Chain A
Amino acid sequence: MRLDLVPRTRRSAVLDILSPALAFVAAVIVGGLAVAALGVSPGAAFVTYFVAPLSEVWSLQEIALKAAPLALIASGLAFCYRANVWNIGAEGQFVAGGLAGGWVGVATHGMGGLPWVLPAMLVAGTLAGAAYAMIPAVLKVRLHVSEILTSLMLVYVAQLLLDYMVRGPLRDPAGYNFPQSVGFDAAARLPYLMEGETLHAGVLVAVLAVGLATVVLARTLFGFEVRVVGVSPRAARFAGFSEARLTLAVFAISGGAAGLAGIVEVAGKIGQLQPEISPGYGFTAIIVAFLGRLSPPGILVAALVIALTTIGGEGAQIDLKLPLDLTRAFQGLLLGLVLGADVFAGYHVRIVPGGPSGRTTS
Chain B
Amino acid sequence: MEAPRPVSAPPRLQAGPTPLFGAYGIVKRFGSFTANDGVDLEMRSGEIHALLGENGAGKSTLMKILYGLLEPSEGVVTHKGDIVRLPNPEAARRLGIGMVFQHFSLCENLTVAENIALVMPKDLSGRALADRIAGLGIDYGLHLEPDRPVWSLSAGERQRIEIVRCLLQDPSLVILDEPTSVLTPGEAEVLFTVLERLRAEGRALLYISHRLEEVRRLCVRATILRAGKVVGACDPREETARSLAAMMVGGAVRAVTARRGEAVGRERLALDRLALPAPGLHATALRDVSLRVAGGEILGIAGIAGNGQAELFAALSGETRVADPEAVRLDGKGVGALGINARRGLGAGFVPEERNGHAAAPLMSLSENALLARHPTAPLTRFGLLRLAAARDLARRVIEAFDVRKAGPDPAAGTLSGGNLQKFVVGREILAEPGVLVINQPTWGVDAAAAAHIRQAVVDLAARGAAILVISQDLDELFEIAGSIAVLHDGTLSPAVPTGETSRAAIGLLMGGSRDPADSGRRHDAAPAPAPAPPH
Binding site for B on A (CB under 8 A): 9-10, 219-224, 227-228, 231-232, 234-240, 357-362
A221-B384, A359-B69 given as contacts; is B372 within 8 A of A238 (CB)? yes
Minimum CB–CB distance for A204 against chain B, Å: 24
Digitize B294-338: 1 where CB-to-A-CB distance is under 8 Å, 0 elsewhere. 000000000000000000000001110000000000000000000
A238 touches B358 (CB 8 A): yes
In the bound complex, do residue B358 and residue A234 qualify as a contact, i.e. CB atoms below 8 Å apart? Answer: yes
Residue of A237, A358, A360 contacting most chain B CB atoms (<10 Å): A237
Q: How far is the CB of A212 from chain B (nearest CB, A)?
A: 13
Are A228 and B354 neighbours in the complex by a CB distance under 8 Å?
no
How distant is the Cα of A362 from the Cα of B73 in the complex, in angstroms?
Answer: 8
Of B4, B87, B354, B371, which one neighbours A224 at CB under 8 angstroms?
B371
B1 to chain A, nearest CB (A): 4
Q: Is the Cβ of A240 less than 8 Å from the Cβ of B363?
A: no
Selected contact of A362 from candidates B30, B375, B385, B407, CB within 8 Å: B30
Query: In this assembly, does B415 line the interface, its C-beta being within 8 Å of a C-beta of chain A?
Result: yes
Query: Which residues on the B side are within 8 Å of A358 (C-beta)?
Result: 87-88
Identify B381's interface contact among A221, A361, A362, CB under 8 A.
A221
Of all chain B residues, the one with the shortest Cβ separation from A354 is B87
Question: Nearest residue in B to A358 (C-beta to C-beta)?
Answer: B87
Does B436 reach chain A (CB closer than 8 Å)?
no
Q: Is the beta-carbon distance between A220 and B385 smaller than 8 angstroms?
A: yes
B366-405: CB near A (< 8 Å → 1, else 0) gives 0010011101100001001110100000000000000000
**Known A9-B415, A219-B386; contact A239-B372, beta-carbon cutoff 8 A:** yes
Known: A240-B376, A358-B88. A235 touches B357 (CB 8 A): yes
Residues of A within 8 A of B344 (CB): 240
Contacts A10-B412, A359-B71 known; A232 to B363 CB distance under 8 Å?
Answer: yes
Give the interface size class of chain B: 35 or more
Bound CA span A362–B72, Å: 9
Smallest CB–CB gap between A77 and chain B, Å? Answer: 21
Residues of B within 8 A of A357 (CB): 88, 90
Q: A228-B361, A232-B361 are in contact. Are A221 and B375 (CB under 8 A)?
A: yes
- If A224-B371, A239-B340 are given as contacts, then 12 extra A-B residue pairs at C-beta distance below 8 Å, sorted by A number, are A224-B368, A231-B363, A231-B364, A232-B361, A232-B364, A235-B357, A235-B359, A235-B372, A238-B359, A239-B375, A359-B69, A360-B2
Check if B386 sits within 8 Å of A238, measured CB to CB. Answer: no
Considering the chains assembled together, what is the distance between the CA atoms of A352 and B357 in angstroms?
Answer: 31
Known: A9-B415, A220-B385, A240-B339. A361 touches B359 (CB 8 A): no
Task: Tell me the bound Cα distance from A269 to B241 in angstroms.
Answer: 82
Instruction: Name which residue of chain A comes closest to B351, CB basis.
Output: A238
Please determine whether B358 and A235 come into contact, CB atoms closer than 8 angstroms: yes
Per CB-CB distance, the 5 closest pairs between chain A and chain B, nearest first, are A240-B341, A361-B1, A232-B361, A235-B361, A239-B372
Docked-complex contact B72 and A361, CB < 8 angstroms: yes
CB distance from A261 to the nearest CB of B (A): 25
CA distance A361 to B3 in the complex (A): 7
User: Which residues from B are CB-within-8-Å of A362?
Assistant: 1, 30
Using known A-B contacts A228-B361, A357-B90, A359-B87, determine if residue A10 contacts B415 with beta carbons closer than 8 Å. Answer: yes
Q: Which residues of chain A are near B2, meaning CB under 8 Å?
A: 360-361
Residue B56 lies at the interface, judged by CB distance under 8 Å to chain A = no
B442 beta carbon closer than 8 Å to chain A: no
Whether, in the assembled complex, B81 has its beta carbon less than 8 Å from a beta carbon of chain A, the answer is: no
**Distance from A242 Cβ to chain B, minimum over Cβ atoms (Å):** 8
B137 touches A (CB below 8 Å): no
User: Can you show 10 pairs from A to B with CB atoms below 8 A apart?
Assistant: A9-B407, A10-B412, A224-B386, A228-B368, A228-B372, A231-B363, A231-B364, A232-B364, A234-B354, A235-B372
Contact of A221 with B386 in the complex, beta carbons under 8 Å: yes
Question: How distant is the Cα of A9 from the Cα of B4 in the complex, in angstroms?
Answer: 28
In the assembled complex, B360 has its CB within 8 A of some CB on chain A: yes
Asked whether, in the complex, the Cβ of B373 is within 8 Å of the Cβ of A238, the reply is yes
The listed residue (A220, A232, A236, A239) touching B362 by CB distance below 8 A is: A232
**B318, B360, B362, B364 interface centre (most CB from chain A within 10 Å):** B364
C-alpha gap A234/B372 in the complex (Å): 11
Contact assessment for B368 and A239 in the assembled complex, using a CB-CB cutoff below 8 Å: no
Q: Are A220 and B386 in contact (CB under 8 A)?
A: yes
Residues on the A chain within 8 Å of B362, using CB: 232
Binary A-proximity of B408-434 (CB < 8 A = 1, otherwise 0): 100110010000000000000000000
Complex Cα distance A236/B3, Å? 45
- When C-beta atoms are compared, the residue in chain A nearest to B415 turns out to be A9
CA distance A294 to B412 in the complex (A): 20
- A231 neighbours in B (Cβ, 8 Å): 361, 363-364
Question: How near does chain A come to B36, taking the closest CB pair, in angstroms?
Answer: 12
How long is the Cα–Cα vector from A69 to B352 in the complex, in angstroms?
A: 44
Instruction: Please name all residues of chain A whose beta carbon is closer than 8 Å to the beta carbon of B463 when the two chains form the complex.
Output: none
With A9-B415, A240-B341 already in contact, the answer to whether A361 and B358 are too (CB < 8 A) is: no
> B414 to chain A: closest CB distance in Å?
9
